[in-house]
Amino acid sequence: MTSSDIPGERAQLIDFPFDSKLPTVLEDQSFGVNWPVVYILNSEKEAYIGETSNASQRMSEHLKNCERTRLTTSTIVYDSSFNKSVILDLESTLILYMTTDGRYELQNRNAGQSQAHNYYQRAAYQTRFNQIWQDLIDHQMARKSLEEIQNSNLFKFSPYKTLTVDQYRVCMDVISIILKKNAEQAGLTTYQQFEVPSDPIFVKGSAGTGKTVLAVYLVKAFSELAHYSKEDILSLSDRFSWLTEDETLLEEAAKLSPGFKIGLVIPVTSMQKTLKNVFRELKMASVKVVSPQDAAKEKWDLLIVDEAHRLRQRKNITGYKAFDDTCRRLGLDKHKASQLDWILKCSRFQVFLYDVAQHVMPSDAPEEAFRKWLHSATHIFSLSSQMRCWGGEDYLNYVKKIFSDCPPETRLSFSDEYTFSIYESAAHLQAEIVSLNQVWGLCRMVAGYGWDWITRKEKSIHTDPELFDFELDGHRFIWNSVQSDWVNSEHALDEVGCIHTIQGYDLNYVGVLIGPEVVINPQTQRIDVDLSNYYDKKGKAGTDFEEVRDSILRTYAVLCSRGIRGTLNYAVNPEVREYLKRYCPVVL
C-alpha cells in the first residue's frame, strides 16, 4: 500500500507568524478550529512539535508559555485525510527525526505517544512521511536525509523512539516495580537500604528485540521522574497516563528524589563510547554510562545492565588483579563471583537485559550464575517482537540451528526484503558490501577469530599496502583498527570487525567471513571447529574443548544476526561452503 491509496491531497506545510494575532487568523482557516493537525513552532535555533484538533485554541495556550514566546514561526502540517491516530503517530515520528537531525534544539519535554499503536492504513500514512520530511528540508527546517538519520546511532538508540507493545508493557511494569520498592524503603537509612536483599529484575530478549532501546528508555524515564514533582507528572499526563491514573503509583513516583542515582552499565567496551555519545548529543549529561568495573566503585540506587550476558567472570580475562581487588573490596570470593555479583552488591535495584544465546566468550559470566538468580527471581520479563532483522525470528532461529549440532531439517526461504546467501569468493563478497554501502550505508565486514591480529600495534595500516592481517582470493583484509564505536569509525568499511566491535549494533547488510577454525567433522558430517586455527588465545586458554566450540559457533550465529536487510557469507573451508549451500542460495 502506498500514500496514493489514502484519500485526500498531498500534505501541506503552511507558515504563520507566531504572535498574538495567530489564534484569530487560524479561526478563519478550514483546519484551524476543528481539524487534527501537527504543528512546529520554531525560531532560528529552537523548536517545539505538537498535535491538536483545535489549532487556534492550542496556539492561545502556547502564547501564554514563557518558553514558547522565544519562538517566532508556526508551521501547520495539514492533510484533509488526517485523523487523531495519524497526528499522534506523526507527532512522535517528527520528534524522533528532528531530535536526531539536530537542526533545532527541541523544547519538547516528552516524545509524544510512547507506545506504538496500529490504525487503519498506518503503513500508507507512514510512506507519506517521506514527502513531509522532504518538504521540511525544502523549508530549511531539516538538514539530513531520512536514510542518513536512520543510519545514525542517535536514531537507533534514541529514548524518543515509540516502543513496541511488549517493550511498553515491560517498561511500565519495571518502572512500577522499582517505584514501589523505593517507596517501601523510604524510611530506612542508606545503610539499611543497601542491606535489603537483592530482588533483581530480568528482561530476556533475543537479538534484535530492542533490549538496548528499552534500557535507554528506562534510564531516561527514571532520570526525568527523579526531577519531576507530582505536578510536573500530572502536566505530562499524555506521556505518563499509566502513572496519573493510579494515585498510589503517582505518590510513589513523587518520592523519587533528584539524588536518585542511576547508571547504565555496558559490559561491551565499543558500545560504551557509542551510548555516551548518544546521551551527550541529547544533552543528558546527568546520565552515567559506565563499565562494570567503574560501576563497582560507587553506590547506586538503580543500575540497568544492557548485554548482561557479557558480564565477566574470573576466567580468560586481562586484568586479574583489578578483578581480584574489586572482589576483595566488595567482600566477594574472587573464584566464585562474577561481575553480576558486583552489580548486585553496589546497587539497591537492578535490571538485567540479557540473551544467553549471545554468551560468546569463556570469560562471560556462566549461565549457571543467571540460572541461580532466575530460579529465585520474582520479576522476569520477555521481549519477543523482532525490531532489527527483516528476516524475522524465523531467520534468527534458522541461523542458530545452522551453527549448532541440530541443523535445520529443511531449507527456508525468506521474503524479497531479506537476503541470506553464501559467496564462492571472499573478494566478491567484499566488493558487494562496498557496493551496498554506497546505496544503503552502514554495511560492514565481520569475522570470527580465524586469523591472527598481525597489525594490532601498527600505526600506518591504511597507508602501507604491505600491512594486512590475512588474504583471501587475492584481497587483503585488515582487522578493526579501533575498539570503541568501530562501526562508525573512519576506516570501518575497509576493515573487518570482530564480535567485540559489533555485538549490540545494527547494520543494513553484514558480510560474514567464516574462518578456517570452522570445519565439517568427517565422522558426524556436522559443523565443528579446529582450535589450531583459532587465534583468540584468551578465549581458549585453560578452557575445555566443548566450551570453546560452543563459544565459536555462537559467535558466528551472533555475527549473522547483525544485518537488518541481509547477511552475506563466505567460508574459507570448501566443505563448510558446501554445508551452507544446503541452507541458502549461492552467489558465484
For 43-94, the pLDDT digits (tens) are: 999 999 999 999 999 999 999 999 999 999 999 999 998 889 999 999 999 9
Place of cell 532483522: 389
- Encode pLDDT of 483-537 as tens digits: 889 999 999 999 999 999 999 899 999 999 999 999 999 998 899 999 999 999 8
pLDDT at site 426: 97
Please give the angle made by the CA atoms of 424, 517 and 487, to the nearest 5 degrees: 70
328's enclosing H/E stretch is: helix 320-330
pLDDT band at 145 (very low <50, low <70, confident <90, very high): very high
- Encode pLDDT of 279-305 as tens digits: 998 888 778 999 999 999 999 999 999
Answer whether residue 4 shows pLDDT above 70. Answer: no
Which whole-number Å values give the CA distances from 389 to 154, 311, 328, 336, in the listed order?
Answer: 19, 25, 43, 37
Instruction: Select from 430, 418, 421 the least CA-distant residue to 566.
Output: 418
Rounded-to-integer distance, Cα 248 and Cα 238, Å: 18
Place of cell 534458522: 398
User: Roughly what angle, to the nearest 10 degrees, separates helices 211-225 and 165-184?
Assistant: 40
pLDDT band at 6 (very low <50, low <70, confident <90, very high): low
How large a percentage of the chain has pLDDT more than 90? 69
pLDDT band at 198 (very low <50, low <70, confident <90, very high): confident
DSSP secondary structure letter of residue 317:
-
For residues 242 and 144, the model is more confident at 144
pLDDT band at 362 (very low <50, low <70, confident <90, very high): confident
The domain 165-383 is placed in CATH, from the list 3.30.310.40, 3.40.50.10190, 3.40.50.620, 3.40.50.300, at 3.40.50.300
The reply to whether domains 165-383 and 392-587 share a CATH topology is yes
Rounded-to-integer distance, Cα 238 and Cα 122, Å: 21
> For the residues 303-331, what does the mean pLDDT come to?
94
Fold of 392-587: Rossmann fold (3.40.50)
9-18, 117-126, 295-304 — most confident range:
295-304
Place of cell 559443523: 527
Answer whether residue 128 shows pLDDT above 70. Answer: yes
- Encode pLDDT of 438-471 as tens digits: 999 999 999 999 999 999 888 778 878 889 999 9
**Which amino acid belongs to residue 104?**
Y
What is the residue extent of each domain of the chain?
A: 3-150, 165-383, 392-587
pLDDT band at 112 (very low <50, low <70, confident <90, very high): low
pLDDT at site 538: 79
> For the residues 214-219, what does the mean pLDDT come to?
95
Sheet holding 12-17, edge to edge: 12-17, 73-78, 37-42, 46-52, 105-106
556's enclosing H/E stretch is: helix 545-559
pLDDT at site 146: 95
Answer whether residue 8 shows pLDDT above 80. Answer: no
Tell me the pLDDT of the chain averaged across its residues: 91
Rounded-to-integer distance, Cα 538 and Cα 371, Å: 25
Answer whether residue 105 shows pLDDT above 90. Answer: yes
For residues 109 and 401, the model is more confident at 401
> For the residues 239-243, what does the mean pLDDT come to?
72
pLDDT band at 190 (very low <50, low <70, confident <90, very high): confident
Global pTM reads 0.85
For residues 327 and 242, the model is more confident at 327
> For the residues 97-105, what does the mean pLDDT come to?
95
DSSP secondary structure letter of residue 364:
B
For residues 341 and 287, the model is more confident at 341
Answer whether residue 1 shows pLDDT above 50. Answer: no
**β-bridge partners, 73:** 17, 42
Answer whether residue 124 shows pLDDT above 90. Answer: no
Which whole-number Å values give the CA distances from 535 to 114, 169, 453, 514, 540, in the listed order?
Answer: 45, 43, 8, 13, 9
296-300, 373-377, 382-386, 547-551 — most confident range:
296-300
Q: Is the Cβ–Cβ distance between 514 and 569 less than 8 Å?
A: yes
Phi and psi (nearest 5°) for 371? -60, -35
pLDDT band at 23 (very low <50, low <70, confident <90, very high): very high
Rounded-to-integer distance, Cα 208 and Cα 283, Å: 27
pLDDT at site 127: 81
Answer whether residue 123 shows pLDDT above 80. Answer: no
Answer whether residue 221 shows pLDDT above 70. Answer: yes
Rounded-to-integer distance, Cα 209 and Cα 250, Å: 29
For 3-150, CATH gives: 3.40.1440.10
Answer whether residue 116 shows pLDDT above 70. Answer: no
Q: Is the Cβ–Cβ distance between 413 and 587 less than 8 Å?
A: no
For residues 223 and 416, the model is more confident at 223
pLDDT at site 3: 47
pLDDT band at 2 (very low <50, low <70, confident <90, very high): very low
